[in-house]
């Protein structure tokens, strides 16, 4: 690119965040907790979805006997998701609050789609954990084989530090304060003790995604259900009924809670890195979607695709569906690339600069935390290594040492196995292709890995050292 056409991205970025800072928000939780309905209703109340659209969803949902799914269809857009009544892929949209611009990622809750959930959460700065307050439903999601615990552990392991817990469907239990406090007690203990969240970074909000209560505002005399658009079945019998049963809560609404979330420091001055989460052919070239993990990019610049070392030029770009000439760390971007074959780019690829390419490896050292494993991890233990939307089979090739979780000191060198809740140093070798990976000290975003086996997440960790380079 000619120097005269270059944009001072850092200066432009400072101007943008002075107006309103941006955050990537993922919505997670057990299947059927009401995540899509909750966020679809919130988007409607924020004016991001028209009443005409909601009415259409309601009519279409009634035709297939799923009238209560009208708001969920705002985010669940595919025919299969709507027919099955579950989120399968990560839905992406945007909305604004008084002080923040949000890119919303609606992650699937079903255990069959955990890899998609990992891909979505890896792009997030903060999260809303949705739990179902209905008697029996919270317990099934929180106890054995439920996704509430696994999603919380994954979110924390993927770098999410701030968590808003939406205690959903409280209208089903008549806005019971006792039920809300029971859920808060159980979840808070787990999130602080087992998932390592700071108590000060947790906010619990009682609400109902179906009625819209306490999403944007609470019912007051003359304000029934915050203007809910769905049929009369979604509106409480009277404002007084809600006021009398929900008068115990004096805290913030859901929108107020997320509006107060802090924005993390963006590594905008580091070398350019972009994780690819989607690739497709377009009229202008090869379209790649993903998130800028570090640095910045502008139209006309050359980028390198790793693995493969293929070069391409950025022809045009969009940030949150709006055409722009530049993007910076933290942005969710769609780039149109020219000069490259679509077969050279795939989900999990990383775009970088030729001057500072990301390492590609099949062998690395990591510090991991072992979760609730059924069989202890030993040398040669087969795993699927997940790095954001990329996953490759591999083995735990060496158990270096177990370490104290608090102090970081070595407890035992060369242990024979790793059991539940163990923190350890290990080496991992991939069985197939090399993957783009960085040490955690160089990139918090690209230096995290998940280890899964048999449909369960068994460990999560950070990359300490790259032990081989290239394929």
Per residue in 406-457, pLDDT (tens digit) is 788 888 998 999 988 889 999 999 988 889 999 999 988 899 998 988 878 8
Distance CA 23, CA 104 (A): 9
Backbone angles phi, psi at 342, to 5 degrees: -60, -25
If you search the block for the tokens 């955050």, which residue do you land on?
23
* Predicted local distance difference test score (pLDDT) of residue 181: 94
Distance CA 203, CA 251 (A): 10
Q: How deeply is 99 buried, as exposed, middle or buried, from its count of CB atoms within 10 A (0-12, 13-18, 19+)?
A: exposed
* Predicted local distance difference test score (pLDDT) of residue 75: 59
- Token readout for 85 is 């009544």
* Predicted local distance difference test score (pLDDT) of residue 1: 56
Distance CA 427, CA 447 (A): 14
| Torsion sign across C-alpha atoms 67, 68, 69, 72 | positive
- Kindly provide the b/e burial profile for residues 295-317, where b requires at least 16 CB atoms within 10 angstroms of the residue's own CB: bbbbbeeebbbbbbebebbbbbb
> Kind of pairing, strands 360-361 and 322-324?
unpaired
Tens digit of pLDDT for each residue in 67-81? 555 666 565 554 444
Distance CA 33, CA 130 (A): 6
Of 256, 257, 259, 294, whose CA–CA distance to 436 is shortest?
A: 294
Distance CA 448, CA 367 (A): 10
Within 8 A by CB and 6+ apart from 406, the residues are none
Distance CA 471, CA 467 (A): 12
Threshold 0.85, pTM exceeds: no
> Kind of pairing, strands 162-168 and 126-132?
parallel
* Predicted local distance difference test score (pLDDT) of residue 120: 73
Peptide bond connecting 307 to the previous residue in cis, omega within 30 degrees of 0: yes
Q: What angle do CA 168, 108, 274 make, to 5 degrees?
A: 120
| Torsion sign across C-alpha atoms 171, 176, 179, 182 | positive
Most confident residue range from 44-53, 104-113, 178-187: 178-187
- Token readout for 435 is 């993957």
Of 320, 308, 389, 299, whose CA–CA distance to 351 is shortest?
A: 308
Backbone angles phi, psi at 344, to 5 degrees: -90, -5
Domains in the chain, start-ordered, CATH in brackets?
17-259 (3.40.50.300), 267-352 (2.40.30.10), 360-466 (2.40.30.10)
Identify the residue with better confidence: 212 or 205. 205
Whether residue 342 is predicted with pLDDT greater than 70 in this model: the reply is yes
> Kind of pairing, strands 21-28 and 360-361?
unpaired
Q: HSE-up of 201 (CA within 13 Å, CB side)?
A: 18
Whether residue 464 is predicted with pLDDT greater than 80 in this model: the reply is yes
Whether residue 146 is predicted with pLDDT greater than 80 in this model: the reply is no
In this predicted structure, which of 104-108, 172-176, 355-359 has the lowest mean pLDDT? 104-108
Average pLDDT over residues 196-225: 79
Identify the residue with better confidence: 470 or 290. 290
Of 235, 298, 338, whose CA–CA distance to 6 is shortest?
A: 298
Average pLDDT over residues 90-98: 78
> Kind of pairing, strands 310-319 and 302-306?
antiparallel
Distance CA 395, CA 363 (A): 10
Q: HSE-up of 407 (CA within 13 Å, CB side)?
A: 6
């Amino acid at each position: 690119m000619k120097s005269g056409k270059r944009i001072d991205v850092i200066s432009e970025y400072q101007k943008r965040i002075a107006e309103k800072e941006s955050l990537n928000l993922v919505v997670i939780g057990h299947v059927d907790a009401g995540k899509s309905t909750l966020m679809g209703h919130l988007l409607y109340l924020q004016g991001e979805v028209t009443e005409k659209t909601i009415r259409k969803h309601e009519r279409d949902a009634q035709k297939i006997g799923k009238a209560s799914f009208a708001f969920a269809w705002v985010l669940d857009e595919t025919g299969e998701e709507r027919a099955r009544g579950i989120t399968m892929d990560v839905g992406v949209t945007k909305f604004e609050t008084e002080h923040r611009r949000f890119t919303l990622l609606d992650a699937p809750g079903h255990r069959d789609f955990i890899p998609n959930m990992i891909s979505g959460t890896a792009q997030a700065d903060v999260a809303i954990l949705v739990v179902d307050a209905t008697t029996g439903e919270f317990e099934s999601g929180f106890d054995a084989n439920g996704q509430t615990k696994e999603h919380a552990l994954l979110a924390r392991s993927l770098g999410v530090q701030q968590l808003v817990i939406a205690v959903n469907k409280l209208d089903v239990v008549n806005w019971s304060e006792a039920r809300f406090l029971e859920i808060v007690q159980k979840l808070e203990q787990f999130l602080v003790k087992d998932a390592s969240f700071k108590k000060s970074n947790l906010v619990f909000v009682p609400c109902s995604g179906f009625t819209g209560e306490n999403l944007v505002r609470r019912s007051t005399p003359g304000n029934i259900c915050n203007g809910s658009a769905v049929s009369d079945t979604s509106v409480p019998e009277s404002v007084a009924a809600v006021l009398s049963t929900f008068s115990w809560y004096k805290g913030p609404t859901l929108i107020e809670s997320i509006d107060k979330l802090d924005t993390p420091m963006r590594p905008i001055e580091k070398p350019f890195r972009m994780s690819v989460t989607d690739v497709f052919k377009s009229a202008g070239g090869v379209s790649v979607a993903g998130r800028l993990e570090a640095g910045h990019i502008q139209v006309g610049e050359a980028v390198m695709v790793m693995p493969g070392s293929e070069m391409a030029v950025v022809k045009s770009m969009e940030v949150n569906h709006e055409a722009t000439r530049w993007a910076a760390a933290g942005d969710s971007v769609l780039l149109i690339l020219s000069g490259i074959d679509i077969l050279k780019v795939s989900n999990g690829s990383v775009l970088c600069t030729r001057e500072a390419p990301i390492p590609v490896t099949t062998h690395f050292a990591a510090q991991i935390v072992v979760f609730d494993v059924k069989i202890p991890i030993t040398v040669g233990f087969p795993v699927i290594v997940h790095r954001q939307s990329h996953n490759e089979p591999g083995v735990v090739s060496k158990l270096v040492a177990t370490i104290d979780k608090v102090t970081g000191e070595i407890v035992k060198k060369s242990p024979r196995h790793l059991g539940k809740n163990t923190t350890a140093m290990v080496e991992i070798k991939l069985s197939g292709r090399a993957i783009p990976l960085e040490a955690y000290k160089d990139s918090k975003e690209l230096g995290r890995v998940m280890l899964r086996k048999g449909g369960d997440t068994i460990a999560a960790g950070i990359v300490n050292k790259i032990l081989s380079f290239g394929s």
